[in-house]
Structure 1
Amino acid sequence: MTELEKGPQGQRRGRGARERILGAARRLFREQGINTTGMDQICSVAQVSKRTAYQHFTSKDELVAEHLRRLDPDTMPEVFDRTDLTPRERLLAAFDKPHSIPSHEATPLCPFIAAAVEIADPHHPARRRAYDYKTSVAARFAETARQAGATNPVQLGEQLALLLDGAAARTRTLDTEALPTAASIATLLIDNALPAEPPGAPLTPV
């Protein structure tokens, strides 16, 4: 295919087709779900032919997996990679607001959870991606907890990851923001997991 191939509306299509396909998939998956979104609709919104779409993605399964990979490839770097916060502050920052997805696109349910719920096949590449992502979130929590001096950083990491997922699910179910309550619970978990510091002790270094 050349850069001059025309899409379904007769417009010239260049190398931006892949990004348009991913952008259309992201929007449609968010608005109406994965299973109810077909490749025909994605191609129509992206203004590409199905031939073009399948040259970039061999199947819808591959497109869904790439969609998830693009959402947050580095696992919340805007939280865990911050150098202006102490490790304890970074743990709590994870509960400030939804991350990695622009606010105007944010879904009330974590897209990785949504994909795992919609896709029954445990071997589906998107399910694998969701599993890897959720594992990496817990791992980043655990590493940050270790830096903060937690006595059992792996346990705290799992607790905070579970709490974050629970807040996302509750927000979706009740249509109300659950992160402030989750942040309060996280504060208790973190304070209980960290060794008490004597009065006047310096903050844990980043």
Structure 2
Amino acid sequence: MDIDTQLLSAAERLFDHDGFNATGMGRVVNETRLSSRTVYKHVGSKNALMARVLAERRKRFFEHTDFTTTTALFASLQRWADAEGVRGCLFFRVQAETGGSIPEIAAQVAAYQAQLRTRIADLVASEAGVVDEQLTDQILALFEGATTAATYRGTAVIGAAHACALELVRKRAQQ
């Protein structure tokens, strides 16, 4: 494993499990077993490291997630939760921790949010046969809500959100 991969993997695990503010660079250094000089040479700063972690997470998430149908979307979320665990959305958690005050992190969060909404809007247009901003927002809310609710209700809530989303799409397609 190369140094960048090692750093990003360790940092993502730490930030995801313990949070951005609770994870100091010393923990990243200890986790990677690299010198602090090497770590800072490759990442520059904690903020830059978090932005890189988010960029890689976003890439991995969108490669994993199937936006072809509502069923495929929620099945992807279920597989993600099974593989990654249920701690809520890392993008929203880091946005809440930083308050949007760190430009490079805020840019990554905004890119994720925009990409997610666009992909869901395309799914809705394909399945419902029409561009529908309200239905897009409803499916987005169900998807993100299931991501959060799974942290305290378990992954069965993903199935409940899926059923609701299917009903909304079905009703819109019949109009």
Q: Same fold (TM over 0.5)?
A: yes
Q: 1:182 to 1:149 in 2, by over 3 A?
A: closer
How far is 1:50 from its partner? Answer: 1.2
Higher relative contact order (CA 8 A, sep 6+): 2
Deviates more, 1:126-135 or 1:181-190: 126-135
Give a deviation string over 1:36-59, Cα, whole Å, max 9, x none.
Answer: 000011011111111111111111
Asked if structure 2 preserves the Cα contact closer than 8 Å seen for 1:138 and 1:157, the reply is: yes
Change in 2 beyond 3 A, CA 1:188/1:102: closer
Q: 1:50 aligns with which of 25, 36, 46?
A: 36
Secondary structure of the residue aligned to 1:79 is coil
Q: 1:183 to 1:32 in 2, by over 3 A?
A: same
Could you tell me how far 1:143 is from its partner in structure 2?
1.1
State the 1:16 CA deviation: 1.5
The counterpart of 2:16, out of the listed 24, 30, 35, is 30
Distance 2:128 2:44 in 1: 46
CA distance in 1, matches of 2:50, 2:78: 20
Tell me the residue number matched to 1:4. Answer: none
Structure 2 residue 98 is the aligned partner of structure 1 residue 119: yes
User: Are residues 1:69 and 2:55 paired?
Assistant: yes
Residue 68 of structure 1 contacts residue 129 of structure 1 at CA under 8 Å; is this kept in 2? yes
Matched letter for residue 57 of structure 1: V
How many residues are treated as equivalent by the alignment?
173
For the pair 1:148 / 2:127, whether they are aligned, the reply is yes
Cα gap change, 1:108/1:123 in structure 2, threshold over 3 Å: closer, same or farther?
A: closer
d(CA) in 2 for partners of 1:72, 1:143: 18
CA deviation string 1:57-105 (max 9, x = no partner): 111011111111111327634402xxxxxx5xx2222112437858443
1:102-181 counterparts in 2 under 5 A? Answer: 103-172=82-151, 174-177=152-155, 178-181=157-160
Give the partner amino acid of 1:106: G
Q: How many percent of aligned residue pairs carry the same amino acid?
A: 23
User: Is the partner of 1:108 in helix, strand or coil?
Assistant: coil
Residue 163 of structure 1: how far off its partner (Å): 1.1
TM-score scaled to structure 2, two decimals?
0.86
Distance in 2, Cα, partners of 1:118 & 1:63: 15
Runs of 5+ in structure 2 lacking a partner?
Answer: none
Higher helix share: 2
- Cα deviation, residue 154, structure 1: 3.0
Aligned pairs for 1:174-193 (under 5 A) are 174-177=152-155, 178-193=157-172
Two-structure CA RMSD over aligned residues (Å): 2.3
Structure 1 counterpart SS, 2:74: coil
Are the counterparts in 2 of residues 164 and 182 from structure 1 also a CA contact under 8 Å?
A: yes
Q: State which structure, 1 or 2, has the greater radius of gyration over its C-alpha atoms.
A: 1
Q: Distance in 2 between matches of 1:38 and 1:100?
A: 30
Q: Runs of 4+ in structure 1 displaced over 6 angstroms? A: none
